[in-house]
């Protein structure tokens, strides 16, 4: 039996803050290549990032090649940070 429980709003905010900070550090690395699986769910994460970043949905920062989505690691981290922040706010 698992003792897993949903993350609390505090835990969601904390994870969001740490991912946001970490994405800044990762952005300074020499190589930021990252591959997401080429799924609609992964693509939507990048579309959401672009909307948060620029207010647009037209210039998604990734390339779909049929198997994977080529993008940058810090963008994925920041996009997850924003999603966690939204979840924390919704749970409060």
* Domain-wise residue ranges, the chain: 9-91
Q: What global pTM score does this model have? A: 0.83
- Buried b / exposed e over 17-29, threshold 16 CB at 10 Å, is eebbeebeebeee
Residue 35's SS3 state is strand
List the beta bridge partners of residue 35.
Answer: 70
Cα Rg, the chain, nearest whole Å:
14
pLDDT digits (tens, 9 = 90+) for 53-74: 777 667 787 889 899 999 999 9
Residue 1 has pLDDT above 70, yes or no: no
Question: What is the pLDDT confidence band of residue 49, given thresholds at 50, 70 and 90?
Answer: confident
Q: Reply yes or no on whether the pLDDT at 84 is more than 90.
A: yes
């Amino acid at each position: 039996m698992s003792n897993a429980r949903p993350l609390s709003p505090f835990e969601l905010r904390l994870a969001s803050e740490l991912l946001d900070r970490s994405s800044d550090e990762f952005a300074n690395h020499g190589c930021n290549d990252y591959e997401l699986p080429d799924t609609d769910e992964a693509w939507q994460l990048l579309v959401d990032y672009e909307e948060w970043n620029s207010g647009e949905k037209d210039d998604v920062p990734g390339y779909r090649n049929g198997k994977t989505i080529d993008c940058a690691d810090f963008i994925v981290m920041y996009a997850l940070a924003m999603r966690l922040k939204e979840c924390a706010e919704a749970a409060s």
